[in-house]
Amino acid sequence: MTTIVRLDNVHKQFGSNQVLKGVSFEVKKGEVVAIIGQSGSGKSTALRCIDYLEKIDDGQITVCEHNLAGSAPDLKALRRDVGIVFQSYNLFPHLTVEKNIKLALKHVRKLGHKQAAQIAQEVLAQVGLSEKADSYPEQLSGGQQQRVAIARSLAMAPRVMLFDEVTSALDPKLTGEVLKVIEGLAAGGMTMILVTHEMGFARKVADKIIYMRDGLVWETGGPEILDHPETQELQEFVGIGL
């Protein structure tokens, strides 16, 4: 399979705080990778570097043939290839669900009204929210808003999707709604990198699990590493997390 994301000896620090200390991993096309670890281990920073929301200090990152080290990449082209969904939904409160989705389609992809509306309906159906097209964000539950945020990213037809703790602000029922959507994307062959604290979900949906600790990739492997950790650190983390 083609490698779609590659990090090689990536370093990132904020002031005197060294957050990434030489992180290396790769993601193949169609692969679902879950990144787990304690708070402060560098998971979310690594994810943000993949979308060039943070610029790395040293090392190499290649995402969908975009080189993110050195001079600034073509951000418009990068953002077309990479979708990212955060813990906060970042929806425009004064726009309907459909208009939230159509905004980038019209301004970034330069699509006409009819084509943008068609794509908006398609992605809303994909996340199970066809009937909410004319609703405003405040009329939706947290889980529904997160699904709209996912639909908005899907509308751009990205080659890889990044999810940063997208269920951490949701209760168990709403978490289940969102994870079901992500599970459907995985079944459809979408390349995804998930930063998550949902160990059961990581075990169920991920092809590869990366355990980060102290700014490093500490252990990596298939879902079986959650049942048979090689390191004491992962054994202790899984014991707490399950």
Residue 135 has a CB neighbour count (10 Å cut-off) of 15
pLDDT of residue 240: 55
> What is the C-alpha separation between 146 and 204, in angstroms, rounded?
21
31-40 pLDDT tens trace: 999 999 999 9
Average model confidence (pLDDT) across the chain: 92
Angle between helices 97-107 and 113-126 (to 10 degrees): 130
| 16 Cβ neighbours under 8 A, 6+ residues apart | none
Give the β-pairing of 216-221 and 66-67.
Answer: unpaired
Cα angle 100, 187, 241; round to 5: 85
pLDDT beyond 80 at 146: yes
> What is the C-alpha separation between 84 and 159, in angstroms, rounded?
11
pLDDT beyond 50 at 242: no
Find out whether 191 and 15 touch, Cβ atoms under 8 Å.
Answer: no
Mean pLDDT of 166-177: 86
pLDDT of residue 170: 84
- In 3D, which of 196, 223, 218, 220 has the Cα closest to residue 207? 223
81-92 pLDDT tens trace: 999 998 888 899
| pTM of model > 0.85 | yes
CATH class of 3-90+159-241: alpha beta
